[in-house]
A and B are shown apart, each in its own frame.
Chain A
Amino acid sequence: MTAFFTALLNSLDIGLLLFVIAVGLNIVFGVLNVINFAHGALYMIGAYLGFSLIAMLGWPFWAALIVAPLGVAALAVVLDRLVLRFIYGREITDSLLLTFALLLVLNESVRMIWGSGIHVVEPPALLAGTLDLPGGVRYPVYNLFVIGVGLAMLAGLWALFNRSRVGRIMRAASLDADMAKALGINTRLVVTGAFAFGAWLAAVGGVVAAPMRAIDPGMGDKIIIESFIVVVIGGLGSFPGALIGALVLGAIHAFGGRYFPEVNMVLPFIGMALVLLVKPNGLMGKGAA
């Protein structure tokens, strides 16, 4: 029973972290109609920036958690103004190609700046160690913190999209960009803003993930595939879909790793294939295939 509870908590911390990252992918898709293949690379840059601030400059974890994602968001603004603006209004294939090219460039840049080695970030003292939960479950405090961050982001994003003017503008721009423009919304600003916001979410995920996982140049590849699986399971562009997809994938990892370690690696893909066969638009997706 203890093992079961541990796996349950595990699926929450994996799942909610994935939600934060995948929802960024979804927001960018919603507003720009582009799947950002470099999203995982931005997550990785967030983690590396956090690592540099904490381990090399000696900043406290909390400062890095604030500053590193803002740095990645600023990078996203630069990329948008310098590169992506060339393909707005072109075929969707061109935008896929361009973000794919960004993935190559960012990945290799990370390798050049930080090297190919593995880095470790220690959790802050406040969150170190383990906690004894009722039922005899002993769980790392940091992973509970990740669950807390995930829930806070979930609540914050829900409020942003349903209760704030900025969120309504973003939703309007994703529903009908021309109409939003006609109503006096600066859609260009919304597009850049949404791209930066998506990058910020990826980078927050990166900094939060850093003390839980090792930092290496392959981490971005892993997370972009995971995010794809999340949005395919949940339904591309759907907010509740990102949550459900992320929790499903979190559960697949946590329980699969515990009970089926031999085939753990292919389980997420089997889950994705099953969803594609039964509900091609995802569990929360709309419309027919």
Chain B
Amino acid sequence: MKNAIVLIVLAAVLAGLVALPWVAPYFYIFLGTEVLILGLFAASFNLVFGYSGMLSFGHAAFYGIGAYATALILLHLEWPFLACLVVAMGAGALLALVIGFLSVRLDEVYFAMLTLAFGMMVFAVAHQWRSVTNGSDGIAGFMLGDFAPGVDWSLGDPAVYYHVVLGVVVVAAAVLYLICRSSFGLILRAIRQNPERVSFCGLDVRRYRLAAFTVAGAFAGLSGALMAPFLRVASPEMLHWSMSAEPVLMSILGGTGYFLGPFFGAAIFVLLESWITGFTDAWMLVLGVMLALMVMFFRRGVLGTLLDWVQGNHD
């Protein structure tokens, strides 16, 4: 019964998302695209945070490298978009493998510090390696061509791009969900609750954490690859630690205990951002205050609190 309700709600939301370009003004197509991409970014973060219990403050590194990979490929090689997505996932995974290898060796305090530090290293490199990354200006002026070889969908049209993003994000989210539900995902959750016990069971905790981090890096890279053509630029800000703060807040806003929590959080986040930046440019301040209040008082997130309330009413 409960599953049926969840499925019906999901189907309705999905139908609404598909229909969005025909029923809503242009502005909402942009908002919708942003929500979907950032939702995927946050969901990839939550695989590490909510499922594996590791707090990363450097997740923007993988998002950013996906964006840079896409921008560079589109600018210099003019490959089809699908190829960019694949390369961006590979780049995100590879970078996460290297950073993760060094960061999962010790406890969560070290993990948080090291991910922030290595994330800022990537930012500094992008900022100063001018010959490749064009420094603080970032890479712009690239054009979207075919989606796949010979498949021209005119991706430059925002409504078309929105539908492509929707398709990619739905597929990616489904894969992420299957990963979370698999025995691998179960082990990650066990590690979050009690790493000692899992390692006494004979499993290599470090290797599982590194695997989770690498998978998360791949999906963060994918979200960055979707974002670069949307923003029409890949800039160092996409790698900055304040970008890493966004999936942290989105996951906590939505609820880290739910697979769809980060997507829900991303929707709240983007709507709030577009509303608040209308009358103040101190968005980071608002972001910080919200994060602090959520951690202090609503640790289960909006979705969690909402579901508790709904279930309390029905049971």
Contact = CB atoms under 8 A, between A and B. Distances in A.
B283 to A, nearest CB: 8
B199 to A, nearest CB: 13
Q: What size tier do the contact residues of chain B reach? A: 35 or more
Interface stretch (B2-10, B88-96, B110-118): B110-118
Interface in B279-315: 282, 284-285, 287-289, 291-292, 295-297, 299
Nearest to B256: A93
A37 interface: yes
A229 B117 CA distance: 8
Nearest to B206: A289
A232 B110 contact: yes
Nearest to A264: B128
Contacts of A257: none
Interface stretch (A94-102, A134-142, A179-187, A198-206): A94-102
B124 A265 contact: yes
Contact of B252 (A29, A86, A97): A97
B106 A87 contact: no
Given A104-B245, A265-B128, A221 B120 contact: yes
Contacts of B112: 35, 37, 96
Interface string B128-144: 10000000000000000
B196 interface: no
B57 interface: yes
A235 to B, nearest CB: 11
A112 B120 CA distance: 23
Nearest to B245: A104
Contact of A269 (B113, B121, B287, B291): B121
Given A35-B112, A96-B112, A221-B120, A104 B296 contact: no
A170 interface: no
Interface string A253-289: 0000000000001100100110011001100000001
Contacts of B124: 265-266
Interface in A188-211: none
B295 A98 contact: yes
A87 B299 CA distance: 11
Interface string A214-236: 00000001001100110110001
B53 interface: yes
Contact of B248 (A92, A97, A108, A228): A97
Contact of B289 (A35, A105, A266): A105
A103 interface: yes
A266 B125 contact: yes
Given A93-B53, A272-B117, A101 B288 contact: yes
B105 interface: yes
Nearest to B120: A225
A107 B117 CA distance: 17
B37 to A, nearest CB: 22
- Majority secondary structure, B binding face: helix
Contacts of A273: 102
B117 A103 contact: no
Given A105-B288, A107-B284, A269 B295 contact: no
Contacts of A8: none
Contact of A100 (B109, B120, B121, B291): B291
B110 A87 contact: no
Contacts of A265: 124-125, 128
A232 B114 CA distance: 9
A102 B295 CA distance: 12
A120 interface: no
A231 B113 CA distance: 10
A109 interface: yes
A98 B282 contact: no
Given A104-B285, A104-B288, A277-B102, A87 B296 contact: yes
A35 B115 CA distance: 13
A105 B299 CA distance: 19
Nearest to B292: A101
A83 interface: yes
A160 to B, nearest CB: 24
Contacts of B248: 97, 100
Contacts of A101: 288-289, 291-292, 295
B253 to A, nearest CB: 12
Nearest to B280: A112
B274 interface: no
Nearest to B105: A280
Nearest to A273: B102
The 5 A-B residue pairs with the shortest CB-CB distance in the complex, in nearest-first order: A104-B288, A105-B288, A101-B292, A101-B291, A108-B285
Interface of B: 53, 55, 57, 102, 105-106, 108-110, 112-114, 116-118, 120-121, 124-125, 128, 241-242, 245, 248, 252, 282, 284-285, 287-289, 291-292, 295-297, 299
23 contacts: A37-B57, A83-B292, A86-B297, A87-B295, A92-B108, A92-B109, A93-B108, A96-B109, A96-B112, A97-B248, A98-B292, A98-B295, A98-B296, A104-B287, A108-B285, A112-B282, A224-B116, A228-B117, A232-B110, A232-B117, A236-B109, A265-B124, A269-B121
